[in-house]
Structure 1
Amino acid sequence: MKSVKKKKEDKTMQLGVFKTATEACAAATAAQKELVQKYTMEDRDRFIGSIRTKIMANMERLAQMEFDETGYGRLEDKIAKNTGAVMLSQGTEAIPHNMYASDKGLTVEYYAPFGVVGAVTPVTNPAATIIGNGIANVAAGNAVVFNAHPFAKKTSAETVHLVNEAITEAGGPLNLFTMAGEPTLASLDEIMVYPSVKLLVGTGGPAMVKTLMSSGKKVIAAGAGNPPSIIDETVDLKKAAEGIYGSSSFDNNLLCIAEKEIFVVDQVFDAFMKELEDAGAFRVSSEEGKKLTEICVVPSPEEGYAANKKYVGKYAKVILKDIGIEIESDPRIVIFEAQNDDPLVQTEQMMPIIPVVRCKDFEEAMERAVIAEHDNKHSASIWSNDINRVTAFGKRINTTIFVQNGGTMAAFGIGGSGTNAPTIATPTGEGVTGPQSFVRRRRFCMAGGGNYLL
């Protein structure tokens, strides 16, 4: 009699990662039904706590994996960025409840899950986006099917696996997070048309936003930005320079909220540039700045210019080398005096090359900053102690994120007060997203004067 060999367990299989997007959607649908039918809000809090613990225990490994796979940013900054996504994201406490009571009756307004959410993640922030959106949706009661960027699919798959592992270890359902192992545009199409996917979330550029909008389903979309910063003569220049240096250089300027160009009042321009150099910036001449512009942005038929993907998220000295400047030091940003019409000023470049524009006065700086932001309604900052100027610029720029006397990251709890979120939904208006963004409003009414105590 032949002995029957047991099939070996596949130790390489990752939880939540499927061959096709359709399989991923089906699994997420079953998991979400189990979540809302069998588990309480307190259970969701326990799952979120387990996710935080699990990801923090794997933080350095996950950041290294992301750095190796994408080649973008700085390892130490990725650790800080992903830690923010884990520890500063909101849980069930962010879901609102409203009550209306009178002698005519009692109405309770509460917020229910959409069900299954389809989410597009960017190559620039794959782990942080999955973790942040994932925690928010667990709090909201949703499952999420991710269509990861193909160039970050390994990091994304490992993040999905870790989160599923954390939830199941806490006694929760498997497959609240899923994805196709080989994400493509075709897999995104599968997700968009899947019947139980009721909400789409996207973090990326204009083309991604347009694609999701074409689905006919509700969309929460984070679009492009080109955040300007104004420096006027009333501010502490040393503090402003150190703030700009730290914020604009973070993860080699990959963050969509990070300052991309600076407008400085002529009266303090030279002194501010000196302070930036003292903070660690590497200054090049205007002519060398033009050479940087020539390689860092490329013509785009849709937008005029676009960032050259070869240099997105790269180290400053790597980019400098390609215009013939070789240095041994590791400056976090390169600065140069640029003309206002420089394409690098007008383009979201996502690299540590920061053009600085000299302006005759605050009014000119404000006018130029508003134009450079291109009405994206994304992010902007101003370094000024004149509250009238701060107010005037805030009204004109009309951005979702607006910071006075601090780096733009201050609005997310880093150097200021706030919560963390990887998706800043500017085109669709939700702003800084959280659990409250991924729920739908419902009302339960006890009519006829019942349940009201005088």
Structure 2
Amino acid sequence: MMLDKDLESIQEARQLLEQAKLAQQKIEKMSQDQVDQIVQSMAQAATKEAGRLAAMAVSETGYGKIEDKRTKNLFSARDIFESMKDKKTVGIISRNEEKQVWEVAEPVGVIAGIVPSTNPTSTAIFKALISLKSRNAIVFSPHPTAAKCTNETVRILQEAAEEANAPKGIISSITNPTLSSAHELINHKLTDLILATGGTDMVKVAYSSGKPAYGVGPGNVPVFIHSSANVEKAVKQIVQSKTFDYGTICASEQAIIVEKSIKRKVKKELENEGAYFLDDYEKKKIEEIIMVNGRLNPGIVGKSPQTLANMAGIFVSDGIKVLIAEESNIGKSYPFSVEKLSPILAYYTVEDWQEASHVCNELLKVGGLGHTLGIHSENKQIIEKIGLEQKVSRVVVNSGTTFGGIGATTGITPSMTLGCGTYGNNVSSDNIGPEHLLNIKRIAFGVREMSNEQESDNVHARKEETEKTISRSEVMDIVKSVLQELKI
């Protein structure tokens, strides 16, 4: 008998949530050392399998480059693990002796992990690590086009966790995910919190579920090259950042804004680094493949410049790394001004930093509010002025925004989920970590007495009366003294 795929998938989601609930109740009783051993075991297993999982992801989705997806997997397994391994997430995590307040970490419970097709293995590694570090269970809903590689990632993490004595069912994944099972996972009564990484529509579903949710917004990232910048270094960083995994990280640059005084110099350096500037005809042909029915064409995501050129019916040589078109307009009617998630860049020319700041803000309004901005400059006053004006959660200075935004090359917390704050309709502007998956209980000692307002008023009145009595007494003494002197 053939069963309905949606019903099977929904039923599996329910079963996994029930197992996760039981497992979470067990891990909740574990010590910090036990939890840390589990997380370390998972990180080591993910590190060992980083290359194989990367190859699976590229093969299944057709997005990106194997070597770069391997780097992303290692970033999640190593850098993110290193950043949180010493954090306290069990029991009393801080004691403020001055205020006499103790903070106690409590897990949130069962987490629904929504995984995108662009980063299907590295996101799963990241979310599993931060979930178990905070003693939560997690059930994943892979993107249907990346189900095999995500499920294999989860299997590896699950086995490693159980080898370190984690309860069975603490990590799991829907094997044949559908839109219906994703909705079931998000809305089920056993789900306590949602980690939603994916398209705007899925993030909206997570936020409308009535449950706590951490989502992300699109990252239409502008990068400004100021006249004070080290142009050669800036261009090298931008090209490396934009072409990493063919632009599938949402923090990657989408538009370059340059001052007129250095326009030619920047263009020359870009060409030296493998950029190809499209002529008017070529620009029009690429524009035709960027958008489909007013939305980003998924067919261009994570594709090489050569594949993109072939799709558009133009030719570029094998050495080309990124396609660039000069642009002056901004809006959804101008495809080069939107988020492209591929090695395609817009190139804007401005007179000064004030105009650059305006252009950056306009680009963000098209679809990147709250996410990330890049600045290349050696003038800290300019950096401060522009940084203060932008409605973003991250301003990455003198570094590629792909790597700076996720915390690989900056001091920002390493993460694969980048909150966009209220600018991007998100609940947090942070790089999400295990601390976001905890309830903090506070044990607070009494340090002062609360005075009664009526008693306080009576005391105040008696004080005033006493002051009045003293004042009359003093007056009588003065009168007596004067009368005595006058001998009356």
Both proteins in one fold, TM over 0.5: yes
CA distance in 1, matches of 2:312, 2:25: 56
Equivalent in the alignment of 2:28: 36
* Structure 2: runs of 5 or more not aligned: 1-8, 421-425, 449-488
Equivalent in the alignment of 1:444: 443
Alignment of 1:14-413 (within 5 A): 20-37=12-29, 39-89=30-80, 90-95=83-88, 97-101=93-97, 106-300=100-294, 306-341=295-330, 343-374=334-365, 376-408=369-401, 409-413=403-407
Q: CA deviation at 1:404?
A: 1.1
Q: Deviations over 1:330-351 (max 9, x none)?
A: 4221122122337234311101
Identical columns (%): 28
CA distance in 2, matches of 1:225, 1:94: 29
Equivalent in the alignment of 1:452: none
Instruction: Point out the more displaced range, 313-322 or 413-422.
Output: 413-422
Q: CA deviation at 1:362?
A: 1.9
Q: CA deviation at 1:95?
A: 4.6
Q: CA deviation at 1:448?
A: 8.3
Q: TM-score, normalised by structure 1?
A: 0.89
SS at match of 1:23: helix
**Corresponding letter in the other structure for 1:339:** S
Q: Deviations over 1:181-234 (max 9, x none)?
A: 111221122212322311111012321222111111111111212010001211
Q: 1:126·1:152 contact (CA, 8 Å) conserved in 2? A: yes
**Corresponding letter in the other structure for 1:179:** S
Q: Which has the higher Rg, Structure 1 or Structure 2? A: 2
Q: 1:18·1:181 contact (CA, 8 Å) conserved in 2? A: no
CA distance in 1, matches of 2:356, 2:298: 29
**Corresponding letter in the other structure for 2:94:** N
Aligned with residue 425 of structure 1, among 419, 431, 449: 419
**Corresponding letter in the other structure for 1:30:** L
CA distance in 1, matches of 2:447, 2:120: 51
CA distance in 1, matches of 2:97, 2:68: 49
Equivalent in the alignment of 1:9: none
SS at match of 1:421: coil
Equivalent in the alignment of 2:433: 434
Q: Which has the higher helix share?
A: 2
CA distance in 1, matches of 2:210, 2:282: 47
SS at match of 1:400: strand
The higher-RCO structure (CA 8 Å, 6+ apart) is 1
Q: CA deviation at 1:151?
A: 0.5
C-alpha spacing 1:299/1:388, structure 2 compared with 1 (3 Å): farther
C-alpha spacing 1:291/1:435, structure 2 compared with 1 (3 Å): same
Runs of 4+ in 1 over 4 A off after TM superposition: 446-449
Q: CA deviation at 1:30?
A: 1.2
Q: 2:10·2:184 contact (CA, 8 Å) conserved in 1? A: no
CA distance in 2, matches of 1:344, 1:263: 16
Q: CA deviation at 1:328?
A: 4.4
SS at match of 1:119: strand
Instruction: Point out the more displaced range, 434-443 or 283-292.
Output: 283-292
C-alpha spacing 1:91/1:298, structure 2 compared with 1 (3 Å): same
C-alpha spacing 1:236/1:100, structure 2 compared with 1 (3 Å): closer
> CA-atom RMSD, angstroms?
2.0
SS at match of 1:378: strand
Q: 1:192·1:215 contact (CA, 8 Å) conserved in 2? A: yes
Q: 2:32·2:88 contact (CA, 8 Å) conserved in 1? A: no
C-alpha spacing 1:339/1:294, structure 2 compared with 1 (3 Å): farther
CA distance in 2, matches of 1:394, 1:138: 35
Alignment: residue pair count: 425
